[in-house]
Amino acid sequence: MKSALITGANKGIGFETAKQLLQKGFYVYIGSRDLKNGLEAVQKLNAEGFNTVEAVQLDVTDDNSVKNAREAIGKKTDRLDVLINNAGINGGAPYTALDAETEQFMAAFNTNVFGVARVTKAFIALLRKSAEPRIVNVSTSVGSLYLQSNPNWLAYDFGKYAVYGSSKAAMNMYTVHLAYELRDTAFKINAVCPGYTKTDFTNHNGGEIEAAGKRIIKYALIGQNGPTGKFFSEETNPETGEIPW
Ligand code: NAP
């Protein structure tokens, strides 16, 4: 049975992604910074008939939490097939380049960039044991430097993404480097935008969460001939899904 760890899977897109991987027969570790919320998420999944799932306390900004989660999962399995770096925040208002305080940038980068690097480094040895390891870094089209600098881009004048977009652009660059470093291995590592989706993150505006989960698991399940080191947003490019960094 293949296994997956999803950060921030107690709710929102992470929770939906967990459900969809369970439907595909995975064993899923629900990363949750508040274990209570993770346990409640597991209960909900159990009530829907999914039993190959457990919660693990995991705050991506906390070295000790990540270390403990790695130890706990390492006791249960000697291999991890999929890592989905999903946990993310917008950093909090104010959001624009000039109005935002350093604290907003630091908070967003701490979770969205350093958190991804911290968790990936901690779990890479377990992922290396998989025959088909996959990493999906959950990104956003508003983290594309190419799109955001285009006056015709739909979010061009959305100044509220200065903090969040900067952090996701940095995470994108991390993804490029990670894919490069693992280019001669079986790893497939991509950045994927789930699309504007109804969750707490968007005050429940946007598209259906099932579509977001589907977009993410596509790259968690991608075959050996699939892409690596690419950026996908099906919402932006419904034809091939690929978008410029
Ligand atoms: P959400 O409903 O707010 O869920 C965010 C998840 O991340 C929650 O489980 C949250 O945990 C967790 N999290 C935040 N900080 C964390 C930390 N330090 N350690 C561990 N977990 C942490 O948001 P969502 O819409 O599902 O977003 C999921 C991902 O999709 C994010 O990376 C976001 O940037 C991306 N995204 C979302 C949209 C959209 O329209 N919704 C669009 C593009 C990209 P708590 O419950 O403890 O807060």
For ligand 1, the distance from its centroid to the CA atom of residue 112, given in whole angstroms, is 9
- Residue type for position 8: G
Residue 242 lies in a domain: no
Residue 39 lies in a domain: yes
Cα dihedral 5/8/9/11 (nearest 10) = 180
Residue 243 lies in a domain: no
Query: Residue 187 is encoded by which pair of tokens?
Result: 């790893």
Residue 244 lies in a domain: no
CA-wise closest residue to 219 among 129, 134, 112, 143: 134
Residues with catalytic function: 156
Helix axes 102-109, 162-181, angle to 10 degrees: 30
Over residues 209-223, the pLDDT tens digits come to 999 999 999 999 999
Over residues 39-72, the pLDDT tens digits come to 999 999 999 999 999 999 999 999 999 999 999 9
Q: Does the CB atom of residue 196 touch ligand 1 within 6 A?
A: yes
| Nearest atom within ligand 1 for CA of residue 205 | 40
Residue 50 lies in a domain: yes
Q: What percent of the chain has pLDDT over 90?
A: 96
Q: How many domains does the chain have?
A: 1
Residue 212, pLDDT score:
98
Residue 240 lies in a domain: no
Coil, helix or strand for 124? helix
Handedness of CA 185, 191, 194, 195 (dihedral sign): negative
Q: Does the CB atom of residue 7 touch ligand 1 within 6 A?
A: yes
Q: Does the CB atom of residue 88 touch ligand 1 within 6 A?
A: yes
Q: Does the CB atom of residue 61 touch ligand 1 within 6 A?
A: yes
CATH classification at residue 78: 3.40.50.720
Phi/psi-derived region of residue 223, left when phi > 0, alpha when psi is between -120 and 50, beta in every other case: beta
For ligand 1, the distance from its centroid to the CA atom of residue 171, given in whole angstroms, is 14
DSSP 4-68: EEETT-SSHHHHHHHHHHHHTT-EEEEEESSHHHHHHHHHHHHHTT--SEEEEE--TT-HHHHHH
Whose Cα sits closest to atom 44 in ligand 1?
Answer: 140
Q: Does the CB atom of residue 216 touch ligand 1 within 6 A?
A: no
Query: Does residue 160 carry a pLDDT above 90?
Result: no
DSSP 179-244: HHHTTTSS-EEEEEE--SB-SGGGTT-SB-HHHHHHHHHHHHS--TTS--S-EEETTT-TTT-B--
Residue-range definition of the domain harbouring residue 117:
3-232
Rounded to an integer, what distance in angstroms lies between the CA atom of residue 108 and that of residue 106? Answer: 6
Residue 93, pLDDT score:
81
Residue 135 lies in a domain: yes
Over residues 94-142, the pLDDT tens digits come to 889 999 999 999 999 999 999 999 999 999 999 999 999 999 999 999 9
